[in-house]
Amino acid sequence: MSTMNNISELKPFKLMWKVKVKIIRLWKQYSAAGGETIEMVFMDSRGDKIHGTVKKDEVGQFAHVLQQGQTKLLINFTVTHSSGSYRTTKHPYKVVFLPTTRVRICEALPYNMTGLEPVNYRDVLNGKLDPDFLVVVEVSHIEVVSVNGKDTQKISVELRDAEDERLPLVLWGKFAEDISDAVQLHSENTVICVLRFGKIKIWKDERSVSNAYNVSDVSVNPENMAEVQAFIRLLPKDGLKLSIVDSKPLALANAVSEKDDFFVHTPRKTIAEVLESRQVEKCIVMATIAGIDSDMGWYYLSCKVCAKKVITVPNDNYDDGDEDDVLACNYYCPKCKTNSPKLLPRYKLHLVVLDNTNDCKFLLFDNLALQLLHQPCIELTGPITDEIQDPDVLPPILNDLKGKTFLFKIQIEKENFVYKHDTFKVLKIITNLGMINEFEAAQSPTGSENMLSGTFSTQSDAPEGSLMIQGGSSGSTDLTPAKRTRTPIINLEEAFDQNSVTKMACTIKVKKEKFEKSG
């Protein structure tokens, strides 16, 4: 039997190599040129790493014997130059499987061999590290941005190391969801993020780190990494808590900026135009929140693992006569297919909104509602295990939304114009006062007939009758409280019946002035 080789010895000059490696990362990748391939990162007992590839013709042969975390004996393979936009290791070559490559079971390398080699934040920020290599290394609200024509979730994070250096991190897709969930669950504690095979991004000479599609691995508060425990012990004991902040509206990462999405690429509509639309489309609406549709509730119970809504399953011994027994059911997660899953309450807000043309309802799910309320749902509900029992009882923070104006990007679906469904799903929201003011200023002040002309006053040069309050003297930078300087004609709470979703939105009544004849 041939001698065992180390990864550092691998070169292209022969095929009959024999290495014992642990698969520390595995993913499938598809490209038009190469089809579906299996991509891996191998590590040997000395800690050296090398990239590995199974080409499309051999995927069926090897897919069932390769799994992340396993240790394998590899015999007879090609060693070729490592290339590509980003590289997972510093090794100049990579392993390519042949039809004649042998994969053998062997004694496992230690479980705690993760390949984690933390880099110095300063080396990333000052450009010392090569951005062509993938490295291992304040939280914003989760966003949905358009990337190559497809909506993708994004979250921005500020990382902090043991020397209190700060490093910007942008995560996309499922990783954005995972970080957002971790922040909600552990907002009072330190959240440790371990990113393996992340890529260094350079934008206007500023460096940040992001995940690479399919390649990167993100772990939140991992329990079985000795490096993490050592890192926690080195952190400054200053009690600094994690804070949720608004993302920078003009930040770019190979995507359409938030401002361009709202101001340039997506058509703007009034609520009347939204209700009159007869096609599936996305649009921007500037609207004021008039109330919360309490019939629909304001949160739902989700599975803590997959974030999907759980369904109730009545107990077998449920007594139909006991109407007060609210615990007479269990929960089931249809996605995880598990009984009694761990529960996490999440926001689901049905907002009654209006502008100076009409009114309708907007639906906001958890991540967007968090952007408005700035605190996770579980902080309002506590660790509950019950569904809502009295939907009319709303937390004060929800009632405080009434009268505030935001920019909404909504989706008009077929159900809205075919079946007259007046609730529209919100895709994005802007709470930044500067952008709201700029958006309103860009709207034409003439040429439209206002149903509520003269009803609301503004605190800037916006046209009289606008429901979009500028809020120039407000102490908040994100919210726009609706204030009136004249006798109010409309009471937002009375203008809409929030106790029934079956009623049509009522017509807004305009107060009539009485004139007395002289003499």
Class of residue 202 by CB neighbours under 10 A (exposed 0-12, middle 13-18, buried 19+): exposed
The amino acid at 255? A
Pairing of strands 423-430, 405-412: antiparallel
465 pLDDT more than 60? no
- When the pLDDT of each residue in the chain is averaged and rounded to a whole number, the result is 72
pLDDT of residue 278: 92
Looking at the structure, tell me whether residues 278 and 197 fall in a common domain.
Answer: no
Residue 256 located in a structural domain: no
How confident is the model at residue 269, as a pLDDT?
A: 94
Residues 79 and 163 in one domain: no
Instruction: Tell me, yes or no, whether 437 lies in a domain.
Output: yes
DSSP state of 304: T
If asked whether residues 45 and 192 sit together in one domain, one would say: no
Do 166 and 26 lie in a common domain?
no
DSSP tag of 111: T
∠ CA(113), CA(96), CA(68), 5° rounding?
Answer: 30
297: amino acid identity, one letter: G
pLDDT, mean of residues 36-57 = 92
Interatomic CA distance for residues 331 and 341, integer angstroms: 7
Pick 316 or 377 by higher pLDDT.
Answer: 377
Same domain, 96 and 144: no
What is the Cα–Cα distance from 504 to 171, expressed in whole angstroms? 42
CATH code of 290's domain: 2.40.50.140
For residue 516, is it within any domain?
no
The verdict on residue 412 lying in a domain is yes
Looking at residue 460, what is its pLDDT? 33
Whether 82 has a pLDDT exceeding 60, the answer reads: yes
CB atoms within 10 A of CB 350: 19
Q: Does residue 217 share a domain with residue 71?
A: no
Would residue 409 be called left, alpha or beta, if left means φ above 0 and alpha means ψ between -120 and 50 degrees? beta
pLDDT at 378 over 80: yes
The answer on 141 and 82 residing in a single domain is no
Nearest-5° angle of CA 116, CA 118, CA 120?
Answer: 165
Mean pLDDT of 465-480: 39
C-alpha 88/C-alpha 130 separation (Å) is 12
Closest CA to 478 of 408, 375, 399, 404: 404
Tell me which H or E stretch contains 233. helix 226-234
Higher pLDDT, 214 or 481: 214
Predicted pLDDT of residue 208:
67
Beta pairing, strands 217-220 & 150-160: unpaired
pLDDT confidence tier of residue 139, bands split at 50, 70 and 90: very low
Query: Residues 101, 125: one domain?
Result: no
In angstroms, rounded to a whole number, what is the distance separating the alpha carbons of residues 424 and 352? 11
Better pLDDT: 220 or 288:
288
What pLDDT score was predicted for residue 284? 94
Burial 289-300 (b: 16+ CB within 10 A, else e): bbbbbbebebbb
Dihedral (CA of 306, 307, 308, 313) sign: positive
Determine, yes or no, domain membership for 113: no
Helix residue spans in 93-204 (DSSP H): 121-125, 174-185
DSSP code at position 250:
T
> pTM above the 0.75 mark?
no
> Which of 28-37, 132-141, 427-436 is modeled with the greatest confidence?
427-436
Structural domain boundaries, residue 442: 262-304+342-495
**Which of the pair, 501 or 347, is modelled with greater confidence?**
347
Q: Is residue 211 part of a domain?
A: yes
Task: Look at 318 and 159; give whichever has higher pLDDT.
Answer: 159
Per-residue confidence band for 156, with pLDDT thresholds at 50, 70 and 90: confident
Give the model's pLDDT for residue 228: 62
**Tell me, what's the pLDDT at 289?**
95
- Do 392 and 468 belong together in one domain? yes
Confidence band of 519 (pLDDT split at 50, 70, 90): very low
In sequence order, the β-bridge partners of residue 81 are 93
In-domain check, residue 336:
no
In this prediction, residue 500 carries a pLDDT of: 40
User: Cα(159)–Cα(419) distance, rounded to whole angstroms?
Assistant: 48
User: Is pLDDT above 50 for 464?
Assistant: no
Q: Record the tokens describing residue 305, joined without a space.
A: 């693992």
Strands (E), 357-422: 359-365, 405-412
Distance in Å from the first CA to the final CA of the chain: 121
Residue 469 and residue 393 in one domain:
yes
pLDDT in tens, 253-270: 445 577 888 888 899 999
418/415 Cα distance (integer angstroms): 5
Tell me, yes or no, whether 31 lies in a domain.
Answer: yes
SS3 276: helix
Task: Please give the pLDDT value at position 150.
Answer: 67
The residue out of 72, 105, 138 marking a domain boundary is 105
Which pLDDT value is given to residue 213? 63
Least-confidence region, from 102-116, 136-150, 297-311, 374-388:
136-150
- Interval 166-186 mean pLDDT: 70
Q: Distances in Å between the alpha carbon of 457 and those of 272, 471, 472, 511? A: 21, 11, 12, 16
Q: What is the pLDDT of residue 448?
A: 40
Q: Which two tokens stand for residue 328?
A: 């007479």
The total of structural domains in the chain comes to: 3
Q: pLDDT by residue (tens digit) across 321-369?
A: 444 444 456 888 888 888 888 899 999 999 999 999 999 999 999 989 9
Residues 20, 97: one domain? yes
- pLDDT band at residue 286 under the 50/70/90 scheme: very high
- How many Å apart are CA 370 and CA 346, to the nearest integer? 9
Q: CA neighbours within 13 Å on the CB side: how many for 187?
A: 15
- Phi first, then psi: what are they for 145, rounded to 5°? -120, 160
Same domain, 99 and 125: no
At residue 90 the predicted structure's pLDDT band, cuts being 50, 70 and 90, is: confident
| pLDDT at 347 (0 to 100) | 92
Instruction: Count the neighbouring beta carbons within 10 Å of the beta carbon of residue 13.
Output: 6
DSSP 179-200: HHHHHHHSTTSPPPEEEESEEE
